[in-house]
Amino acid sequence: MQKTAKNPRVAIGALAIILGSFAIAPGVVSAAEASAVEEGKKIAFHRKKGNCLACHKIAGGSLAGNIGPALVNMKARFADKAKLRAKIYDATVSSPNTIMPPFGKHKILTKSELDKVVEFIYTL
C-alpha cells in the first residue's frame, strides 16, 4: 500500500520540485540576443557613444565614474524593460534635474544602438 503525504504542502512542494526540473534553464539566450548584448556593451563602454563608464560603475568596465549609481540588479530596479529604455532615451522626463544626457532625444545613439545598450544594461 502506498503512503500519501499527510501535509498537502509537502505534496505540493514535491510536485514543484519535479515540475521545476523540466523548466528551461534561466539565463539561456539565443545567439541573436547574446550578440545584441555584446554590441550593447561595446556601445556603452565606447567613449564617443554611450560612455556610461564616465558616470557609472559597471562590471567589466575600467575607470568607472561615481556620479551616477552603480549599474547592478537592473532587472530588479526596472522590472519593465521599456522603463529602462525610456530612462536612457531621456532621463529628464522622470528626473528633470539629472545630468544624464538624453541619448535618444538628442540622437547621441541611434534607435538600434539604444536598443542594444538597453539589452546590455538589463543583463547587469
- pLDDT tens readout for residues 67-116: 999 999 999 999 999 999 999 999 999 999 999 999 999 999 999 999 99
CATH number at residue 82: 1.10.760.10
Full domain range(s) for residue 117: 31-122
Rg (CA), the chain: 20
Report in angstroms the alpha-carbon separations of 55 from 17, 23, 47.
43, 38, 11
pTM, two decimals, is 0.72
Residue 87 · residue 94 · CB < 8 Å: yes
Contact 103, 50 (CB under 8 A): yes
Structural domains in the chain (count): 1
94 falls within a domain:
yes
Q: Is residue 48 a part of any domain in this protein?
A: yes
- Lookup: cell for 52: 556610461
Tell me the pLDDT of the chain averaged across its residues.
Answer: 81
Could you give the 3-state DSSP secondary structure of residue 102?
Answer: coil
Query: CA 101 to CA 116: how far, in whole Å?
Result: 17
Q: Quick check: is 3 in a domain?
A: no
